[in-house]
Structure 1
């Protein structure tokens, strides 16, 4: 699973400003805040003052004599123009790209993985363009233990472990893709995404992926497969367990919380 804020630094920053520190990764969050302050024209002194004030308010046990190094490092990070705030709100997939994937000689669940590889590759290229100002290579490669683990997670793919099954894990699936000329397995364990060199592209936006942890479900939603539909509140794809389910987990919790608050308010008013 990808980090909730991966490729969405501004969302991360907004949550930090609104809620205070959101995790144990104090260094990372202070660096993002420093970059945010620098972006708004604050000089080194003002940035440092703002970070100190933020820590005084939001960091339990904050001690200037102890935490000054963390703040100084964050300020240095913020002042470095090479460090960018990365915000990729969504990835668009065109109709020709969908048609290409749909015509592959694969079952639907495996096409969903190809769709996911396309989205992840486009995400990474967009990330490099923001970070470095350009994409220095036109090649398309994928690999690494964590990346394969994330691929399985965000593609929403499960495997049949039975002996008769040809594809029992992600590596079996990659071999199948290799046999069909969709990817090419390299000696170092990485794969070259051959389909990325062939897939037609245009400017149409047939599918827009907003949540990068649910990429596979967007392909299911497009095809109305596997009981996937849109959350009626926020629009993300959800895999439903019944026809009554209309909200994703986050929206459902928020709805329940609003009901609870409303109930509590009424109860207090009648006391």
Structure 2
């Protein structure tokens, strides 16, 4: 019912004008609307407190995605669907704490896709300041699922996206340059290049995210959201950068 108004895959990045149209359509079709703000979130507790205004959490559910997964059956049973959840403040949080913002978007989008596939329709929309064309490409399965265990000690804690101060030397990894990306078509081209010559070990080193983030945060978010879907297809994407904000210890 809302699909014609939704660009690309979850999460849908929309301007305020596009969100107004989407919200009008949602209410006209009896879709429940929940709107949260994460711009001032200092930690995961703040983010999950915001989610608790949309979902009914059982008492045993904590403030983390693993706990959310464990409680998903009870949460779904007590939540009214179909649901449109609008997220404000994602890009202010992205500027201040890139990993936390992207970790939220990746996990919330993954949950929205999974719940919808299971019959609990959950649409995730994120407020952005300008229109963004959505990437169209998706990676096929990797030749061999990437196994992070050999270098898990080098990976940052806190989950995807894997932002590291510098990429560990992994023989056979494929390096791609993100800095040249200027559009959704460029993101598609990078995904096409990975799909055309995938690394045998499934490891992709994505250079230049820090510079894209400084230049155009919304585009940087699109890049990570497009590439990190690949983790579900057996790829492991590493984002080397510099400074403490790029290393989660």
What band does the TM-score fall into relative to the shorter chain? under 0.3
The two structures have a TM-score, normalised by structure 2, of 0.22
Largest Rg, 1 or 2: 1
The two structures have a TM-score, normalised by structure 1, of 0.21
Q: Which has a greater percent of strand?
A: 2
Q: Which has a greater percent of helix?
A: 1
- Greater RCO structure (CA 8 Å; 6+ sep): 2
